[in-house]
Amino acid sequence: MSGAAAPYVNQMPNSKKAESDQDALHILPLDILPLDTPGLKRARLIKNVRLDSVVELFKDIDTGSGQVEVSNLGTVFSWPEDEQHSDETMVSVMCRLHSYDVYTLRIQLRKLGINVENFDQLKLSKDKSDELTGYMKTFTMPLISQIYGEASSDIEDVGQLIEMFSAPDKDDALKNLKLMAAKLKINLADVPKFLEDYGDVFMSLAFYKNCLDDLIPKVMLYEEAIDELKENHQLKSDRRLMKSITYISE
């Protein structure tokens, strides 16, 4: 592909498409990143059917998905050839992530020195956030209980825990910080960053668990359908089909 890239196209309504992208593990809308190339900001980084990370420049029901490897972006956007473009460097870093869920992205962007707290795109939709509430408590309550014991009964998530350290009462906030630093055996100044990463890591785990619980019934239905195919008198004599079914199932 060469020349100016076509804008990303999707026939889904913008609000629904944005929510769908936000709640996906395999899609990263590139307008989240501080990129310099306008055409690239209209594209998406995706995991394709082979689970390779590629830049999707456009997608349409008629033309299909226009995908390009990150190493070829310079040709698409006519970047200078004598040095690696800063946008290519940043997108390459994101390519190496195993997941594009919002929590994994928040951790990675903080490592790059990018403030993520005001990014609405780095939050799940309200419906998906509500789904994760139960999972979140499972993953976060052990830390809260370990540090605050019975006093943790009113604390339901890491967000409330973080709020304790920015409480109007500075003495209480400092006391909470010192207690957590001592329990975790880290420096007092490192507590806020620890909490940010801890919250995002465990929310990411909660998100994975939610996706897994959604997939398991579908996998079981698939296995039932496969068993029916294997038992079909006409189909089970087709060796090529049976070989393909075995390969897909494995």
Q: What is the spatial distance between Cα 180 and Cα 185, in angstroms, rounded to a whole number?
A: 8
- In this prediction, residue 85 carries a pLDDT of 93
Q: Is the pLDDT of residue 171 over 90?
A: no
Interval 159-182 mean pLDDT: 70
Residue numbers of the domain that contains 61: 14-122
Quick check: 16 pLDDT over 60? no
215 inside domain:
no
Q: Cα-flanking dihedrals φ and ψ of residue 23, to 5°?
A: -90, 10
Question: How many CB atoms are located within 10 Å of the residue 75 CB?
Answer: 13
Residue of 72, 112, 73, 87 lying closest to 31 (CA atoms): 87
pLDDT in tens, 186-237: 888 787 778 777 778 878 888 888 889 989 999 999 999 999 988 998 898 8
Residue 119 binned pLDDT confidence (cut-offs 50, 70, 90): low
Same domain, 28 and 112: yes
Q: Within this chain, do residues 25 and 105 fall inside the same structural domain, yes or no?
A: yes
- Contact between 18 and 31 under an 8 Å Cβ cutoff? The reply is no
User: Has residue 195 been placed in a domain?
Assistant: yes
State the total domains in the chain.
Answer: 2
37 has pLDDT over 90: yes
Domain shared by 141 and 106, yes or no: no
Give residue-wise pLDDT tens across range 230-240.
Answer: 899 889 889 99
pLDDT the model gives residue 211: 86
* Together in a domain, 97 and 168: no
Cα–Cα nearest to 96, from 75, 74, 111: 111
Q: With H, G, I as helix, E, B as strand and everything else as coil, classify residue 100.
A: coil
